[in-house]
């Protein structure tokens, strides 16, 4: 990306997510900005992709810069795919990680081990002021524990064990988690497409 403008606005004020995406995208030469005065964009879409695009479109329009956004969450098979797009506000108040996690555990308390399957899903979108846009998805499958384990990560990380691992994503180092996470997969897939959008606005 040498010679290209790398100014990209990240449509979130979530500090956990800002740090995570900076780790993932910095190796691609992409420097993220996340101004504190960005408007809140209502997540009214029915899918992760719709919500990611809603946020990225609004922020690109407001800032005049290429904007990226994601919508991600936990999809629990025993709950028919919920909490899904409602993951961040599953217990009723947006961003209450402890309450959201506790509610999911209570809802699947009687579900046997073999049916405690779930996935983290992320849709990552990039939108240029011209209207050009791209959206990609990342997914990691796993199972849910009966009690939280680990102090890293955020959200539902303390109860999610990816397939092929014995650790929860809250027990992994940031680098280990990024290598297999839904957001890591989505934003690594988005990075080369983002280069195209940045080149188009030069």
pLDDT tens digits, 52-100: 999 999 999 999 999 999 999 999 999 999 999 999 999 998 889 999 9
> b or e along 11-43 (b: 16 or more beta carbons within 10 Å of the residue's beta carbon)?
bbebeebeebbeebbeeeebebebeeebeebeb
CA distances from 71 to 5, 19, 43 (A): 25, 16, 9
Q: Which pLDDT value is given to residue 2?
A: 37
One of 71, 77, 96, 157 is an active-site residue; which one?
A: 71
- Give percent of the chain above pLDDT 70: 96
Q: Which residue has the tokens 């780790």?
A: 23
Domains parsed from the chain with CATH numbers: 7-200 (3.90.950.10)
Closest CA to 24 of 129, 133, 136: 136
**Is the pLDDT confidence value at 3 over 60?**
no
Contact by Cβ (8 Å): 37, 62: no
Question: Token digits for 171?
Answer: 């027990």
Q: Which pLDDT value is given to residue 6?
A: 65
0.85 surpassed by pTM:
yes
Instruction: Find the farthest-apart pair of alpha carbons in the chain and give their distance in angstroms, rounded.
Output: 56
**Is the pLDDT confidence value at 154 over 70?**
yes
Average pLDDT, the chain: 92
Contact by Cβ (8 Å): 71, 83: no
Q: Which pLDDT value is given to residue 197?
A: 82
What are 176-188's pLDDT values in tens digits?
999 999 999 999 9
Contact by Cβ (8 Å): 24, 180: no
Question: Token digits for 60?
Answer: 């690109």
110 is catalytic: no
């Amino acid at each position: 990306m040498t010679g290209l403008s790398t100014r990209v606005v990240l449509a979130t004020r979530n500090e956990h997510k800002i740090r995570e995406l900076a780790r993932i995208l910095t190796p691609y030469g992409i420097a993220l900005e996340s101004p504190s005065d960005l408007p809140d964009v209502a997540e009214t879409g029915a899918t992760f992709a719709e919500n990611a695009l809603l946020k990225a479109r609004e922020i690109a329009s407001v800032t005049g810069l290429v904007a990226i956004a994601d919508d991600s969450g936990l999809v629990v098979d025993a709950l028919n795919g919920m909490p899904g797009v409602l993951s961040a506000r599953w217990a009723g108040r947006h961003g209450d990680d402890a309450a959201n996690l506790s509610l999911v555990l209570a809802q699947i308390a009687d579900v046997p081990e073999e049916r405690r399957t779930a996935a983290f899903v992320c849709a990552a979108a990039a939108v240029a002021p011209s209207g050009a846009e791209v959206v990609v998805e990342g997914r990691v499958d796993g199972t849910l524990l009966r009690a939280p384990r680990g102090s890293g990560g955020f959200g539902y990380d303390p109860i999610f064990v990816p397939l092929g691992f014995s650790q929860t994503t809250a027990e992994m180092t940031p680098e280990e988690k990024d290598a297999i996470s839904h957001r890591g997969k989505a934003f690594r897939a988005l990075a080369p497409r983002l280069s195209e959008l940045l080149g188009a606005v030069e």
